[in-house]
Structure 1
Amino acid sequence: MEKRWIRKPAPDPDKVRHLADALRVNEAIISLLCQRKVCTFEEARAYFRPSLDSLPDPLLMRDMDRAVDRLVRALHMGEKVLVFGDYDVDGTTSVALVYSYLRSFFGPERIDYYIPDRYKEGYGVSDAGIDFAADHDYELIIALDCGVKAVEKVAYANQRGVDFIICDHHLPGTELPAAVAVLDPKRADCPYPFKELSGCGVGFKLMQAFTQNQGFPEEPLHELLDLVAVSIAADIVPIVGENRTLAYHGLRLLNDRLHPQRAGLDALRELAGIQNAELNISSLVFGFSPRINAAGRMGDAKRSVAMLLAESTEEAKEKAGVVDKTNQERRGFDTSITKEALEMIEQDAMLRTASTTVLFKQDWHKGVVGIVASRCLDKYYRPTIILTESNGKATGSARSVIGFDVHQAIEECSELLDQFGGHMYAAGLTLPVENVPAFREKFERIVAGRILPEQMIPPVEIDQKIQLSDITPSFFNLLRQMEPFGPGNSNPVFESEKVYVTPDSARIVGNSHLKLTLTQDGRHTVDAIGFGLGEYLEEIQRGQPFSVCYTVEMNEYRGVKTLQLRVKDIRWE
């Protein structure tokens, strides 16, 4: 697929020189910092050494004082608390964090957790969950990673004498639920300075405020930041500001092999085959997230929470094994449904040329439609919605291209929907089955009238041009200090011009991957791999110079570590 190369603007050269003199660091690295709005010595110090002392005061969040007062009242009045969370990674890590932290204060007999059944109860706060709380004398529910749109459900809970504290990070509707407190940085009236916390991050802020209110030491709470890091990675929130600080310290916990914090994640790490690797955001996304998510997608998300809460190595391995097996089942559904979905597009001339992909099939597994939407987006780069039937309704997931707000486009079809919610790039929706054709037509019309032609070409954002000779071990070590990488603080992408492949080095590996050795001046060479770029082999072998864009990584093979370029795209001069 053709890609759109977007070269980021060069930073102010005076700022680069000034910061380079202050830090005595390679100017290429300083340019990267300035592109990320890190332009002073103080900003650089905070960037390279994120401090938990710099976290914003949790009481700046709207309703936080009310939430803490209600939680403290529950603690001192002997009330029972139910921790309620969504069934995805963000929800289950939120539940594990809040439940495990509060259990030490409330005791196991006064606190429990509840994850709704994806298929029987659907997304978010449910009548069944409220009934469970009321029937078992829970007077307070803490809802995590859900609830900001649960106006009717919270009203029902109030009728049954159950209070709610909502900790959410999704976009609110026009009316907020009548809860004791609605904690959501995206509330229009919320002055909290950082708006992009994960759901687990909002739960962490509630625990932080509770801890400060009661004068408890914060160290035990900070030991739960590994869960926050996993949630940040899985929910693809920007890794800037407070998220970057939380992820930085969470990863430090995860990589402290001498003092492992969580037996469940340690067991999962082994099953993912990354027990000897240093974890980063990418390894959390690809190693942890699918396995934790699979429990909720394929059945009971409580299995993931039980794994995260496991206290012994033996229990952790047993729980992680169940979660991993569930993920293997998920892969089977994922592969077969993706194949079927792509065939539906390829066999329909209108679908092939449309501005959107909207597919519906009654018997697709509800637990993998979000994954299938992402797979279809990778193949046909355009806003995508995959729907299946559940409880007599069409329900599914949406994914979007860079720069296009799919949540807003879905909202404009709201008269055809029962419910919807989510973010700019990912959303969920439910509608009557008979409305699917009308929804597909209107959604296509809205998107086609608004999306720009260039938004339907996958972008590759390039930070700066460098020479291959610039890529040295010391350069790479400086790059690594810019981690954790992720949205908003991406792994730098470099461009090098007039590059040649060394004789006989280019070859195909693993069916479609391009393996080669590059040179720019005949003296400096560096190995490279381009995943899925095997189609370029014939052109490369003609010997003409080309430009290449890539990230830099360390490759380990048979115990030997060498620098390697991960090629994103190639263009000929």
Structure 2
Amino acid sequence: MSEISYKSLRYKWIYRKPECSDISELADELGMPVCITEALYKRELFNADVLDAYFKTPLKGISSPFLIKDMEKAAAAIAESIKNNTKICIYGDYDVDGVTSVALMFLFLKEVGADVTYYIPNRLQEGYGLNKTAIKDIAEAGSRLIITVDCGINAMEEVQYAVSMGVEVIITDHHQPSESIPEGAAAVVNPMREDDTSAFKGLSGVGVAFKLVMALRYKLNESGRFKGKIPNIKKYLDLVTLGTIADVVPLVGENRIIVRHGLEILSGKNCRPGLRELKRVAGIDGQKVTTTHVGFGLAPRINAVGRMGASDKGLRLLITNDREQSLYLAEELDKENKSRQDIERHIIEESFKRVEKNKLHEKYKGLVLYSEEWHQGVIGIVASRLVEKYNLPAIVLTFEDGVGKGSGRSIPSFDLYKGLEQMQDILLSFGGHKYAAGLRIEEQHITSLQKRFHKAVEDLLEPKDFVAELKIDALMEPSDVSSELMKWLGRMEPYGAGNREPVFCMRGVNKHQEPVFVGRESMHLKIFLEKNGKVFDCIGYNMKAYKDVVYGNESFDIVFSPAATGYYHGRYTQLVLKDIKPADGEWETEKE
């Protein structure tokens, strides 16, 4: 496969010519536009049967939950607890994945007649996961079964403590386990277990919880509890979709099926009252809900209350059927989100200034920033912004009483979890996965962390790994941008990790009007471009740095994704720019 590339202001553009000798012939065979065929071919989606499943995403494509290790044990134990009217507590995480997991399990268990309550720890006071104080309170309140969702896989001591208090524990999680799993748990349901042989490993926490609901429904029906009236659990896919998108797990396989059907429920008029009101305050009421709407509109508002301390409001919004309460809670979440955004914006600006002033992005291959004044609830977002701006792995910490709590984010070429494993001798605790992790460290070790994190990244990566790549699916001409193209792009949704939105390149487009910069602090580029007599309305978000490029040239090469915009009969196709460069810039060609 041959490759052409170009280094722009922000990215290295990569276009790989497909190995298929004649994409046009394959496109005719499949009945699709050439550029769509090329994009799917590069995703290894060109077999007719595979494509049929990809486009139709039937619910029967979700595999049996009993393929997951310990699922039989978990479902049987919960069914027995329901039969005996044992009080059950759902224990979850405070992020969107965790909150939706709790809501799902709580609502389903209520529906089948269980005696159930829930517990979500306070992020600032208790931190992540099971803790002994909470377990004691749960036990004293009468619960004899704790079901964890989106947490618990490494809670060795806490599970043993619960058992000593006479409380049975069932773990459901999707995070990376350590070398051993909690002893004493009645069941440990996690597709990431080394001894798990289920085919699909990419589920979110709420995805695992949904599989447990599937298994439990089967067990309860087998026991005759439903008397022929089996609950329809499809109605819960809106919750599963929220958590799946928010946790940025790959939107492939079963996740793609879940999200496709869940977005249909979210888009409908009959979605649950809390989400209907949340859509309203997020400004997406009456629209077809997309992964972007969830990721940037709905999820942040649910996340905001958890980041600021407590997730109870977010959970209550998801489980209530009362319209007045839904209205109140949606407004409260919107206010919390605005407050969170203000705090976040201040810390991001401060962190950028610190990096630039001390040239940390030039001295270190991995960034470690910390302060006693930064709010613990937003440091993960700050780490993400540092990665986006400098394309370096980043850890951000806040210290209190000599102990730092931190969040890390990474670039595709560096496995953050494995990197932190090399430093576990100086860490009080850590956990996470390749792209995101949490950690705790004593203040005396912070300098050592900075040096060793830099070295871990430097030893593993090469200079090319620090250049953000922009992968182009196909080269296009103006005639390729059509209603037919937009129809096929719609069929490829939902987009997300593992099923990214197709990105195209058009070369030699001309300036039709002088560009303008719009939005907050004039951050976004608005420009009309023309080629072969066809004019394109283009928007480039956060492209303020490109002023010299667009004002100083008349002809460009652009990388973009087409998007439908406008309202009702006035809808049209807009090109959302990913990058732009002068058309006379030379491309490099190399053979792989």
TM-score (structure 2 length as normaliser): 0.92
Structural mapping, 1:225-240, within 5 Å: 225-240=237-252
Task: Please say if 1:140 is aligned against 2:145.
Answer: yes
Structural mapping, 1:32-111, within 5 Å: 32-107=39-114, 110-111=115-116
2:12 matched residue in structure 1: 4
1:422 matched residue in structure 2: 432
SS where residue 232 of structure 2 aligns? Answer: helix
User: Given that residues 19 and 41 in structure 1 are in contact (C-alpha distance below 8 angstroms), is that contact kept between their aligned partners in structure 2?
Assistant: no
SS where residue 10 of structure 2 aligns? Answer: coil
| Displacement of 1:19 | 6.4
SS where residue 112 of structure 1 aligns? Answer: strand
Task: Please say if 1:184 is aligned against 2:173.
Answer: no
Say which is worse superposed, 481-490 or 24-33, in terms of deviation.
24-33
SS where residue 91 of structure 2 aligns? Answer: strand
Structure 2 CA distance, aligned partners of 1:98 and 1:8? 45
1:355 matched residue in structure 2: 365
* Change in 2 beyond 3 A, CA 1:14/1:558: closer
| Displacement of 1:505 | 3.8
Task: Please say if 1:386 is aligned against 2:390.
Answer: no
Per-residue CA deviations over 1:177-226 (Å, capped at 9, x if unaligned) read 02111111111110110000000000000000111222256652110000
1:210 matched residue in structure 2: 216
Structure 1 CA distance, aligned partners of 2:17 and 2:401? 50
2:6 matched residue in structure 1: none
1:506 matched residue in structure 2: 515
User: Given that residues 150 and 177 in structure 1 are in contact (C-alpha distance below 8 angstroms), is that contact kept between their aligned partners in structure 2?
Assistant: yes
1:515 to 511, 521, 526: 526
Per-residue CA deviations over 1:116-158 (Å, capped at 9, x if unaligned) read 1112211111112211221112111110111111111111111
2:441 matched residue in structure 1: 431
Task: Please say if 1:172 is aligned against 2:174.
Answer: no
What is the letter of the counterpart of residue 194 of structure 1? F
* Change in 2 beyond 3 A, CA 1:391/1:296: farther
| Displacement of 1:562 | 1.6
2:272 to 259, 262, 287: 262
Structure 2 CA distance, aligned partners of 1:558 and 1:209? 43
| Displacement of 1:18 | 4.8
User: Given that residues 16 and 39 in structure 1 are in contact (C-alpha distance below 8 angstroms), is that contact kept between their aligned partners in structure 2?
Assistant: no
2:131 matched residue in structure 1: 126
Structure 2 CA distance, aligned partners of 1:90 and 1:539? 41
SS where residue 144 of structure 2 aligns? Answer: strand
| Displacement of 1:542 | 4.6
Structure 1 CA distance, aligned partners of 2:169 and 2:238? 26
What is the letter of the counterpart of residue 303 of structure 1? K
1:17 matched residue in structure 2: 25
SS where residue 190 of structure 1 aligns? Answer: coil
User: Given that residues 554 and 564 in structure 1 are in contact (C-alpha distance below 8 angstroms), is that contact kept between their aligned partners in structure 2?
Assistant: yes
What is the letter of the counterpart of residue 530 of structure 2? T
User: Given that residues 95 and 144 in structure 1 are in contact (C-alpha distance below 8 angstroms), is that contact kept between their aligned partners in structure 2?
Assistant: yes
User: Given that residues 313 and 333 in structure 2 are in contact (C-alpha distance below 8 angstroms), is that contact kept between their aligned partners in structure 1?
Assistant: yes
Structure 2 CA distance, aligned partners of 1:212 and 1:12? 46
Runs of 5+ consecutive residues of structure 1 not aligned to the other structure = none
What is the letter of the counterpart of residue 14 of structure 2? I
1:343 matched residue in structure 2: 353
1:443 to 439, 453, 456: 453
| Displacement of 1:263 | 0.8
Structure 2 CA distance, aligned partners of 1:298 and 1:487? 27
Structure 2 CA distance, aligned partners of 1:538 and 1:330? 34
Structure 1 CA distance, aligned partners of 2:132 and 2:367? 33
* Change in 2 beyond 3 A, CA 1:11/1:204: farther
| Displacement of 1:560 | 2.6
Structure 1 CA distance, aligned partners of 2:457 and 2:366? 7
Say which is worse superposed, 82-91 or 266-275, in terms of deviation.
266-275
Structural mapping, 1:420-499, within 5 Å: 420-499=430-509
SS where residue 418 of structure 1 aligns? Answer: strand
1:322 matched residue in structure 2: 332
Per-residue CA deviations over 1:72-114 (Å, capped at 9, x if unaligned) read 110112211100000000000000001001112234xx21000
2:297 matched residue in structure 1: 287
SS where residue 253 of structure 1 aligns? Answer: helix
2:321 matched residue in structure 1: 311
User: Given that residues 11 and 35 in structure 1 are in contact (C-alpha distance below 8 angstroms), is that contact kept between their aligned partners in structure 2?
Assistant: no
2:420 matched residue in structure 1: 410
| Displacement of 1:9 | 5.0
2:206 matched residue in structure 1: 200
SS where residue 481 of structure 1 aligns? Answer: helix
2:587 matched residue in structure 1: none
| Displacement of 1:13 | 4.4
1:247 matched residue in structure 2: 259
What is the letter of the counterpart of residue 267 of structure 1? E
Identity of aligned residues (%): 34
What is the letter of the counterpart of residue 345 of structure 1? V
Say which is worse superposed, 464-473 or 539-548, in terms of deviation.
539-548
Coordinate RMSD, CA, aligned: 1.8
SS where residue 492 of structure 2 aligns? Answer: coil
SS where residue 223 of structure 1 aligns? Answer: helix
Structure 2 CA distance, aligned partners of 1:358 and 1:156? 35
Structure 2 CA distance, aligned partners of 1:127 and 1:388? 24
Say which is worse superposed, 507-516 or 172-181, in terms of deviation.
507-516
Per-residue CA deviations over 1:161-187 (Å, capped at 9, x if unaligned) read 111111111110011002111111111
Structure 2 CA distance, aligned partners of 1:378 and 1:15? 34
| Displacement of 1:544 | 4.4
What is the letter of the counterpart of residue 404 of structure 1? F
Aligned residues: 566
| Displacement of 1:314 | 1.1
User: Given that residues 11 and 34 in structure 1 are in contact (C-alpha distance below 8 angstroms), is that contact kept between their aligned partners in structure 2?
Assistant: no
| Displacement of 1:539 | 3.5
| Displacement of 1:478 | 1.4
Say which is worse superposed, 6-15 or 441-450, in terms of deviation.
6-15
Task: Please say if 1:569 is aligned against 2:574.
Answer: no
User: Given that residues 146 and 167 in structure 2 are in contact (C-alpha distance below 8 angstroms), is that contact kept between their aligned partners in structure 1?
Assistant: yes
What is the letter of the counterpart of residue 192 of structure 1? S
| Displacement of 1:451 | 2.0
Structure 2 CA distance, aligned partners of 1:28 and 1:349? 42
* Change in 2 beyond 3 A, CA 1:218/1:562: farther
User: Given that residues 507 and 537 in structure 1 are in contact (C-alpha distance below 8 angstroms), is that contact kept between their aligned partners in structure 2?
Assistant: no
User: Given that residues 20 and 30 in structure 1 are in contact (C-alpha distance below 8 angstroms), is that contact kept between their aligned partners in structure 2?
Assistant: no
Structure 2 CA distance, aligned partners of 1:169 and 1:478? 33
Structure 1 CA distance, aligned partners of 2:177 and 2:16? 33
Structure 2 CA distance, aligned partners of 1:372 and 1:84? 27
* Change in 2 beyond 3 A, CA 1:13/1:20: farther
